[in-house]
Structure 1
Amino acid sequence: HYYANDNNFSKINTELPPEYENKIICADSLQFLKKLPDNCIDIIFTSPPYNFGLEYDTHNDTAMWNDYFNMLFGIFLECIRVLKYGGRFVVNVQPLYSDYIPIHHIISNFFIQNKMIWKGEIIWEKNNYNCKYSSWGSWKSPSSPYLKYTWEFVEVYCKGDLKKQGKKENIDITDEEFKSWVVAKWSIAPERNMREFGHPAMFPENLVERVLKLFSYKNDIVMDPFNGAGTTTVVAKKAGRRYLGIDISEEYCTTAEKRIYDSELGQQSFLK
């Protein structure tokens, strides 16, 4: 890891303040993260908003890209700071082919420049989901055809060390899951309940479950700084992890809390 050898990461891990454990926080992520101590989060899994392109007129936001990446990387720098030594930072990102901005490469360059170790890349195959779009670019011509992506990327980075410390009894991945999931192409249908939860770009629960079981231990602290409708936090709860979800939207935070409450009711009825 020649690009990460001269990092200045402290190897002394701390604990998340108990008042933030298993909480959904409605706040600006950058401002809230500054309240947290260094090295207190085991794993971060998130999908950053795509320049708010799903919420705003794309004709007006081209000039926002510099501001967008400055905002995003400011939050990511705080995330790296609060991540434990040996912790994992997992980012789900889609290439923005319509704007010809290879966002996954830009994000990877940021992490490498900030001395994070690239552990690998998972291809999340969405079963031809994006092929429903009818735009072809230059039809039947090499002039300027559009390439259609049926997958997204899941990029995995480590802070300071590829190996993560944990107790053997807190491993909850099965033999079959491990053998299947280390093959870095996952075929998972996209989330079908986005309208129900009022969110335009949710990832499915099975994607989060695989990431958490493969890259974290039970009782680890999972954080999502763009928690949205709360898929990361609800799956963390179901998987026996502690969680911290942050989102600026009160509506999304309410949805995330309700999903956790509903999942607890479901688990209680299942146990009966």
Structure 2
Amino acid sequence: DFCFADPPYNVDKKYDCCDDDVDIIEYFDWCDKWLSELARIIKPGKTVAVLNIPQWAIRHFKCLNKLLKFQDWIIWEGLSVPVRMIMPAHYSVICFTKEQANDLPFYNLEHSLLEIKSINTYKEFYCIRNSCIKKRKKENIEDKTQVTNLWWDIHRLKHNSQRVDHPTQLPPVFMERLISIFTKEGDLVLDPFNGSGTTSLCAEMLGRKYFGIELSPKYYDIAIQRHQELQMGINPFGKRIETPEAKNSTVRRLKKQKYEVDKKTLQLEVKRISQLINSTPTRDDVIAYSQYPIKYYDDYFINWGEVTAAVRTTGMQNVENKKDYDLKVKKQNDK
């Protein structure tokens, strides 16, 4: 009833038993084979969804467009590691159906609380920190809207406590949303690259049947263990004590340590210094002007770009339309 694929991207990730750096023609020939199989086994009116980086998604589109009918193109805003002049900030989910697409199940059925939660999104420009969410709830501010094909509210898993020993885990809310949109309870979901089990776990939590296929015995065992946790009433996506060996990027991993001053405070301090000197502070500027030791900045942040991240942002607002908010601020300043 629904096929989802998040294949290796051929960008040299360090998988357990998969070469993620092959000749590009060989890579696309391989992709065309499993894409054709997904097109073969999907039921009429049902959806095949494929996640990849934009330049590869275009090539997948070319293949699937010969076999199926185009349904939608979802953009997932998720910042990645900078590798070129422009920061890569999104992934593509291309959606195709066999023959005419059925009406989306979500709009015709009653739903569980998990389905309703996954299908709704915070309005654009709204802060999604727990403190901001609680404040809006207290003030009776309506901050939710129905999801579109632009997903800005789902963040990649960055903290070790949220990860298992797999380099490219998807956040569970991502799969909860896809499965909630395109399937109903009891439908059969297939993921041919199931990895550590995010798709099959979300399918089970949502009352769907599932097939999860995985080449690596190591990742398969992790997925089985997490399904067993779920069946024992343990949250398989909960925080974990152990630090995974697998890494998603070449960026160094910070050691476990006690933070004498939280990172947000340090970043705001750097922003204050930037306003003082009217430029993005260097390490020497922070040594000269910060009230906190430079050791905190060296130990608590991955690199200097993370230290100065707050300098380049204006922050999120608890308002529905940022343009209206900016206009209001300007009028207040004029007064």
Contact 1:230/1:256, CA 8 A, preserved across alignment? yes
Match in the other structure for 2:77? 125
Contact 1:170/1:217, CA 8 A, preserved across alignment? no
Match in the other structure for 1:14? none
TM score, norm. by length of structure 2 = 0.55
Structure ranking higher in strand proportion:
1
Match in the other structure for 2:216? 249
Secondary structure of the 1:153 match is: strand
Q: Which amino acid aligns with 2:6?
A: S
Match in the other structure for 2:60? 107
Q: Which of 153, 156, 177 is the equivalent residue of 2:120?
A: 177
Match in the other structure for 1:190? 156
Tell me, in whole angstroms, the C-alpha distance in 1 between the residues paired with 2:154 and 2:104.
29
Contact 2:13/2:20, CA 8 A, preserved across alignment? no
Tell me, in whole angstroms, the C-alpha distance in 2 between the residues paired with 1:255 and 1:177.
30
Secondary structure of the 1:247 match is: coil
Q: Which of 150, 169, 172 is the equivalent residue of 2:89?
A: 150
Deviation string, structure 1 residues 188-212 (Cα, Å, up to 9, x no partner): 1102367842211111100000101
Structure of larger gyration radius: 2
Cα 1:214–1:222 shift into 2, 3 Å: same
TM score, norm. by length of structure 1 = 0.67
Identical-residue share of aligned pairs (%): 25
User: Aligned residues, how many?
Assistant: 204
Tell me, in whole angstroms, the C-alpha distance in 2 between the residues paired with 1:45 and 1:62.
22
Deviation string, structure 1 residues 89-117 (Cα, Å, up to 9, x no partner): 1111123xxxxxx1111011111022x12
C-alpha root-mean-square deviation of aligned residues, in Å? 2.8
| 159-168 vs 259-268, which moves further | 159-168
Offset of residue 182 of structure 1: 2.7
Higher relative contact order (CA 8 A, sep 6+): 1
Offset of residue 78 of structure 1: 1.2
Offset of residue 239 of structure 1: 0.7
Tell me, in whole angstroms, the C-alpha distance in 2 between the residues paired with 1:84 and 1:161.
11
Tell me, in whole angstroms, the C-alpha distance in 2 between the residues paired with 1:46 and 1:228.
11
Match in the other structure for 1:55? 14
